[in-house]
Amino acid sequence: MICYFTQTDSVLEVEYFYEKGGHIFGHLPAKQLQPTAATSSRKPAFTSLDHRIKIFREKDYYLIKRKGGPRMKVYKTLETAADIAVVRNRNRLFALSHKLHKELIDTPGFEEQSFWKKWNSFNLQEQVTLDNAAFSKKLEAARLEMLKPKK
């Protein structure tokens, strides 16, 4: 599991991406957290509105405790924003490919191998490092091309 923690002036977000075999296969929506007045290391610095997620501030990392889930350490780094963008793009790529597969699998003349061959021909896996807007355009172009009826 990969966990990212981002902070703005008013909102903190925790995003979880589950990873298996090098591929992102799920994403839980960001959880919005409220800062607390706690300063002690025994009390959380941030808590979710439903108290299911608690974040403790440590020296060089944040300790994230999720009710019913494992504890996670998120290390402080300057490159986190770029890492988050890549993981989000990988997740969007995976989600779109499987959404298209589910939509098209019941169409007459659907061939599994030709579907994946055509999808992989767009080389989107190598373009996940693009910024959000550019990658969105590539995904949309690929989606429209995949939905075109065969001649």
Q: Of the candidates 76, 91, 120, which is a domain's last residue?
A: 76
Q: Which comes out higher in pLDDT, residue 137 or 43?
A: 137
What is the span of the domain harbouring residue 136? 81-147
The predicted pLDDT at position 49 comes to 73
Same domain (yes/no): 68, 9: yes
Same domain (yes/no): 70, 134: no
Count of CB atoms situated within 10 Å of the CB of 120 = 11
The β-bridge relationship of strands 23-35 and 2-7 is unpaired
Tens of pLDDT, residue by residue over 2-47, are 556 665 555 556 666 555 544 444 444 555 555 555 545 678 877 7
In the chain, the number of structural domains is 2
Token code pair at residue 5: 């923690």
- What is the pTM for the complete model shown? 0.55
Q: Could you tell me if 76 and 83 are in contact, meaning their C-beta atoms sit under 8 angstroms apart?
A: no
In whole angstroms, give the CA distance from residue 9 to residue 130: 26
Same domain (yes/no): 93, 49: no
Q: Of the candidates 76, 96, 119, which is a domain's last residue?
A: 76
Q: Of the candidates 48, 76, 104, which is a domain's last residue?
A: 76
Token code pair at residue 106: 């019941």
How far from the centroid of its chain's Cα atoms is residue 144's Cα? 23
Tens of pLDDT, residue by residue over 89-122, are 888 898 899 999 999 999 988 999 999 999 999 9
The predicted pLDDT at position 84 comes to 72
